[in-house]
């Protein structure tokens, strides 16, 4: 997908999991299925949202009291993704997402998608939901899953070409989305429907919203 610049207004960089894709219950189901295989106790949605963080090995440190070894992490990551992708096909878009994306595109405003989901899995899933054409660029993760989104955001904005960071707003469900935005000089709006509790999102110091409609409205008002 080629380079594109904004025509006017903000350029939105959307997160996928827990933001555009309503998959938090698939994530919890996959997490607990993986935990059962690994001999760990199941986790509730509320506890998951209180503890979850990126990079994900730090989440396991909060659960286990120590960082997993490289071998443990490789096993955990593989088991989780095996269970998650078996469930992901049954997940729908977040309420109102398709309409928001379409309206924004039809208004001549631009948006792109940046996810830490593996690129080879992400693109076909976005395509199956019929929204690939709404974005000027779609990027998933290539390589290690042990780091956050900041370095990926640098590459994503560079690939967009001509979109100044001060016109970019990242919309995501994780504190790491806000950190990635700050890393490139962009702004962020965080959505409560995904991986984090409202309290943990509010601690980040950026706007926190309960719907994607509100997220877009707030994003356009950010100076």
Are 133 and 4 in contact, with CB atoms under 8 Å apart?
Answer: no
pLDDT of res. 5? 40
What average pLDDT is seen over the chain? 93
SS3 annotation, 28-56:
HHHHHHHHHHHCCCCCCHHHHHHHCCCCH
Three-class secondary structure of residue 203 per DSSP: coil
Identify the segments of the chain with pLDDT beneath 50.
1-7
How many residues in the chain?
223
Burial 206-222 (b: 16+ CB within 10 A, else e): bbbbeebeebbebbeee
Q: How many other CB atoms sit within 10 Å of the CB of residue 84? A: 21
Give the separation between CA 38 and CA 90, rounded to whole angstroms. 25
CATH fold of 11-22+93-221 reads Rossmann fold (3.40.50)
For the chain, percent of residues with pLDDT exceeding 90:
81
pTM as predicted: 0.93
Q: Read off the pLDDT of residues 162-189 as tens digits, 9 standing for 90 and up.
A: 899 999 999 999 999 999 999 999 999 9
Can you give the residue ranges of every domain in the chain?
11-22+93-221, 24-88
pLDDT of res. 169? 98
DSSP H helical ranges for 21-149: 24-38, 45-51, 56-64, 70-88, 97-106, 119-128
pLDDT of res. 203? 97
């Amino acid at each position: 997908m080629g380079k594109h610049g904004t025509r006017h207004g903000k350029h939105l960089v959307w997160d996928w999991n827990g933001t555009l894709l309503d998959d938090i219950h698939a994530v919890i189901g996959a997490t607990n299925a993986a935990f059962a295989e690994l001999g760990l106790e199941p986790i509730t949605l509320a506890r998951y949202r209180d503890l979850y963080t990126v990079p994900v090995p730090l989440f396991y440190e909060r659960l286990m009291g120590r960082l997993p070894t490289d071998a443990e992490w490789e096993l955990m990551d593989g088991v989780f993704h095996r269970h998650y992708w078996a469930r992901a096909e049954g997940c729908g878009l977040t309420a109102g997402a398709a309409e928001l994306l379409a309206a924004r595109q039809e208004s001549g405003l631009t948006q792109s998608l940046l996810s830490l989901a593996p690129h080879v899995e992400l693109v076909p899933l976005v395509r199956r939901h019929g929204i690939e054409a709404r974005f000027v660029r779609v990027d998933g993760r290539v390589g290690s899953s042990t780091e956050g989104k900041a370095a990926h955001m640098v590459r994503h904005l560079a690939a967009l070409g001509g979109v100044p960071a001060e016109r970019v707003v990242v919309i995501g469900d994780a504190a790491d989305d806000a950190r990635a935005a700050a890393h490139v000089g962009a702004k962020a709006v965080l959505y409560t429907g995904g991986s984090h509790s409202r309290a943990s999102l509010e601690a980040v110091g950026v706007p926190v919203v309960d719907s994607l409609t509100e997220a877009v409205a707030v994003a356009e008002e950010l100076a």
